[in-house]
Structure 1
Amino acid sequence: MPRWTIHYPTGAISRDDKDQIAEKVTQLYTDLGLPAFWVNVFFHEHSAGGFYAGGKANHNSVFFHIDHAARKPQSEEARLMFIDRVDGIMRPVLGEKCMKWEFNVYDHPRDNWRINGMIPPMDHPEVLKQWIETNEPVPY
């Protein structure tokens, strides 16, 4: 976890756009010290009549939400820096298409978060390092 869930109208985001977004999102979190395999990006394309914005089915809008359990920003400065990085990921793709985009970030408690039945090793730096190096959950 982190998980990005992106909703958009049919054809608004190409396969190349998705690849670019997913790569940059993953880099964002690996730069913050998380294993790449924790990062999930879901693209949900909605046909006409399946996604309304402003009460209209035909629009040029993208909505996404970001769910976090691993970490929360430790300061207002870190929170704003993260939001700027999100904007830096999405603006090159959506801005050049003159799309409107909206998002929200949800920080969840990590008490219930599990990977392969294990509590992710946020409090065990030596195990976390192993998970990063192998890019998979290693039993501990």
Structure 2
Amino acid sequence: MPLWTVHHTPGIFSDAEKYQLASTIADHYEKVGLPRFYVVTLFQEARPEDFYIGGEPVPVGVRVVIDHIARRNPDQESRRRTARWIRQMLQPHLERHTGLQWEFHVDETSEDLWMINGLVPPPGGSDAERHWAAQNAATPY
């Protein structure tokens, strides 16, 4: 399950841009075989007086926290490829903002601590996971 939490100051994303970015994120994970419903994107607006970098308030800022649970990057090169992909996806939405401070990071969380609707997700790449992807829903297996 990828969970993208996008913390941002006001005016960074319109509703249409949020939809477009969330759809693009889900599209990517679906292309690599994850069920689309695994992908959760949350936009959390923070007032500039509540957004600090280096102890100073930032008038325009974005901080993206990504949790990967369903899959892990096996080596340094795949982690770098993932970071480049994330940058390429975010940059078009962010580069138009003058003076914007932005950053992201990815955590890879243990899948042993993950459930969807009270169910342990099926193993990655399994027939059960492909069934979940086809149904776009968690069902007992």
Q: TM-score, normalised by structure 1?
A: 0.92
> Corresponding residue for 1:27?
27
Q: Any residues of structure 2 matched to 1:73-88 within 5 Å, and which?
A: 73-88=73-88
> Corresponding residue for 1:45?
45
Is the contact between residue 7 and residue 63 of structure 2 (CA under 8 Å) also seen in structure 1?
yes
Residue 70 of structure 1 aligns to a residue whose secondary structure is: coil
Alpha-carbon shift at residue 100 of structure 1 (Å): 2.4
Residue 103 of structure 1 aligns to a residue whose secondary structure is: strand
CA distance in 1 between counterparts of 2:81 and 2:39 reads: 19
CA distance in 1 between counterparts of 2:67 and 2:11 reads: 25
Residue 34 of structure 1 aligns to a residue whose secondary structure is: coil
> Corresponding residue for 2:110?
109
Alpha-carbon shift at residue 118 of structure 1 (Å): 1.2
> Corresponding residue for 2:101?
100
Alpha-carbon shift at residue 97 of structure 1 (Å): 2.0
Alpha-carbon shift at residue 123 of structure 1 (Å): 4.8
Tell me the alpha carbon deviations over residues 46-71 of structure 1, each in whole angstroms, 9 at most, x when there is no partner: 12422222333342211111001111
Tell me the alpha carbon deviations over residues 68-87 of structure 1, each in whole angstroms, 9 at most, x when there is no partner: 11111112221111111101
Change (3 A) 1:9 1:72: same
Q: Which amino acid aligns with 1:47?
A: R
CA distance in 2 between counterparts of 1:22 and 1:124 reads: 23
CA distance in 2 between counterparts of 1:138 and 1:53 reads: 43
Change (3 A) 1:79 1:58: closer
Residue 41 of structure 1 aligns to a residue whose secondary structure is: strand
Change (3 A) 1:123 1:4: closer
The share of aligned pairs that are identical, in percent, is 34
Q: Structure 1 stretches (4+) deviating beyond 6 angstroms?
A: none
Unpaired segments ≥5 residues, structure 2: none
Q: TM-score, normalised by structure 2?
A: 0.92
